[in-house]
Amino acid sequence: MKDLTNEKILAAREAVKLLVDGQIVGLGSGSSAYLAIHEIGALVKNGLDIKGVPTSQKTKDLAESLSIPLLNIEDVSAIDITIDGADEFTEELHLIKGGGSFLLKEKVVALLSKQQVIITDSSKKVDLLGKFTVPIEVIPYARNYVMTQLETLNGTGKIRMDGNKPLLTEQGNYLIDGDFGLIKDPASLAHELDGIVGVVEHGLFIGIATKVIMGSGDTAIVFQ
């Protein structure tokens, strides 16, 4: 049996070796990113001089609890490096993200970053994206329209629920989990989703990651 948590820890420890004094660091969301944030907190406690930009309220709360200095996204024009996780990735560094519902802020921070470093366990590597559904953030008013548009892309969608009501993102939007089967051309699908009115953002991260560090057994493998 693989110890996936240990693989994530290995990847996180490898990723934080890239941090140096004076950097602005994007802090991702999700189980892998939170492990990295704990590692960063330990480095800050030992004297590392960085400032973080969180991608969710949960990330912000965790970083503050570890005394990591933070900046508001409005106060930065560029981020030196972001460490985040992914739900799936390919060797081409195509990603699906957003299982934790924070994809919009994660993508904003990623696009501001000079380096976008993804940390994962070995279960997240795939030949083709699509076993994991594609999270699509939509304004509530447009949910039915967007669902019908997904059908024209040979996909289906399901509103992500929080109990008996739709889950709300931090921006007050809905999430549709889109199933397109295995995605042979993720860049084309991303472009099509970008063009649907009512879609705020989606979880296809294409051409954004600069490096994926994957824990595998007792070692870390780098894809770049």
Instruction: Domain ranges for the chain, please list them.
Output: 4-123+206-223, 134-201
CATH topology of domain 4-123+206-223: Rossmann fold (3.40.50)
* Opening angle at CA 29, ends 164 and 196, nearest 5: 65
Q: Is the pLDDT of residue 198 over 90?
A: yes
Q: Annotated catalytic, 106?
A: yes
The domain 134-201 having CATH identifier 3.30.70.260: the answer here is yes
> Using one digit for the tens of pLDDT, what is the confidence trace for 115-142?
999 999 999 999 999 999 999 999 999 9
Equal fold, 4-123+206-223 vs 134-201: no
Residue 138 pLDDT = 98
Q: Is the pLDDT of residue 46 over 80?
A: yes
Element (H, E) at 191: helix 186-194
| Two tokens, residue 190 | 């991303």
Q: Which of 7, 106, 137, 201 is catalytic?
A: 106
